[in-house]
Structure 1
Amino acid sequence: MSYTTNDIQKRVDDYISQFKEGYFSPLSLQARLTEEVGELAREINHRYGEKPKKSTEKDKAIEEELGDIIFVLTCFSNSLDIDLSDAFEQSMGKIETRDKDRWTRKEGGEDDE
């Protein structure tokens, strides 16, 4: 299934809106995001690094950790009334301008016409 950022934000908001507690505070969401990024780092280290899992540890997919990060980022953006599409567009505009000549382009790329 494919979701737009608007679909993701609405689905998360529909879920969170069921509960009286609502969204966590920005500081709590930041702590939760840090925790989730740490879990992703741990999975990456187990799969690609020099630290294998203990035989008693559950195998968690990198995809699961990325999904958790998307959920927390969406909670963060919803709680602050930030449109993820707008935030992404601002970021890509900055990156595409600032970094356009930073790396070697592949042949047949944008500037090879």
Structure 2
Amino acid sequence: MTIKEAQETVDNWIKEYGVRYFSELTNMACLTEEVGELARIIARKYGDQSFKEGEKCDLSDEMADVLWVLLCLANQTGVDLTEALARNLAKKTQRDATRHINNPKLK
């Protein structure tokens, strides 16, 4: 599935099952919440914390939740994420062409 297809799929799902998009502010709060849930799993799986008994630990599901809300925000604000990602990649490539290669901390 392409990014464009993902945006269209989410939009179609919202129209069929979701009644309407939540407000942009609500979705921003939801995105923050989902990123927090993802961070909790990463802290427990790769960091120093341990999982609590019965705690959910599906990293892929949390990443998908973050992506879902991001796609919703893009749709409702008119952002084409395919174009935005291409522009962002070009910006990073130009800006960081030698930055990371020459960083002694990464050797």
Coarse TM-score class (shorter-chain normalised): 0.7 to 0.9
Q: Return the alpha-carbon distance in structure 1 between the equivalents of residues 49 and 22 of structure 2.
A: 33
1:1-113 superposed matches below 5 A: 3-19=1-17, 21-58=19-56, 60-104=57-101
1:18 CA displacement: 1.9
* AA aligned opposite 2:50: P
Unaligned runs of 5+ residues in structure 2 are 103-107
| Runs of 4+ deviating beyond 6 Å | none
Point out the structure with max Rg over C-alpha.
1
CA RMSD, 1 decimal: 1.5
Unaligned runs of 5+ residues in structure 1 are 106-113
TM-score (norm 2): 0.88
* AA aligned opposite 1:103: H
| Higher-helix-fraction structure | 2
1:82 CA displacement: 1.1
Aligned length: 102
Percent identical across equivalent pairs? 38
